[in-house]
Amino acid sequence: MLISFLREKTTIPLSGCAAQLGSDVAFGTTECFLLATMAYDRYVAICSPLLYSTQMSPAVCFFLLGASYLGGCMNASSFAGCFVNLNFCGPNKINHFFCDLFPLVKLSCGHAYIAEISPSISSASVLVSTLSTIIVSYVYILLSIIRMRSTEGRNKAFSTCTSHLTAVTLFYGTVLFVYVMPKSSYSADQVKVASVIYTVVIPMLNPLIYSLRNKEVKDAMKKLMARTHWFP
């Protein structure tokens, strides 16, 4: 993918294209499940703090992590299976910077109805289930915060959720744009821009997003800005 950014023309074999498609879908789907898991983690931490050590024990965390990667692999197998059944008769020029399924379907010369419907159903089920988990978790979190009498407790609860909500908004916003909205409502170039955001930009920003609450990171950022005269 990075080579495709730098070179005007690159080639990739079918096996490499399948591997690239599978890894992109697997890790993207895993990210959805992990974001839902993190929402549940914050729900337990805020709504049931006394039961947190039990409900989010190391065993439970390992199980949720394994289930997230398993779900990612299952969704990737759906995409890869559809890709394997496509027939290509040229010219096989992909209008994208990596092997995504929908640009590949446009290149196929056979009947691609199943290849369009099956991944859409699979992706929609993942997005709906994980996004529903996140929304329900935050509804309960919001209700719990409203009941808090302490201003300090409310601020701490909001601080706990800010980084996660930022990551959720960025990731789901671009993924829904690419995989859920009608294809006729936007151009291929807009899809490529959105794909760059969720495959490259957001993963690059995640370490910064999740560490901004860390006091040491904040102090380091202030020192860096002071040296460069960005911060008084």
Domain boundaries, the chain: 2-227
Q: How far is residue 197's CA from residue 195's CA, in Å, rounded to a whole number? A: 5
> Tens digits of per-residue pLDDT, 149-182?
777 777 777 777 888 888 888 888 888 777 666 5
**Is the pLDDT assigned to residue 231 strictly greater than 60?**
no
Amino acid at 27: F
Q: Which letter does DSSP use for residue 215 in this model?
A: H
**Residue 33 binned pLDDT confidence (cut-offs 50, 70, 90):** very high
**Is the pLDDT assigned to residue 80 strictly greater than 90?**
no
Which range is most confident: 38-52, 83-97, 165-179?
A: 38-52
- Of residues 115 and 224, which shows the higher confidence score? 224
Q: How far is residue 188's CA from residue 97's CA, in Å, rounded to a whole number? A: 11
Q: What percent of the chain lies above the pLDDT cut of 90?
A: 20
Angle of CA points 114, 118, 120, to nearest 5°: 120
**Is the pLDDT assigned to residue 136 strictly greater than 80?**
yes
Q: Choose among 228, 177, 230: nearest CA to 202.
A: 177
Residue 108 bridge partners (DSSP): 88
> Tens digits of per-residue pLDDT, 181-198?
655 556 677 777 778 888
**Is the pLDDT assigned to residue 213 strictly greater than 90?**
no
Residue written as tokens 């690159």? Answer: 10
Domain 2-227 has CATH 1.20.1070.10: yes
Mean pLDDT of 22-37: 92
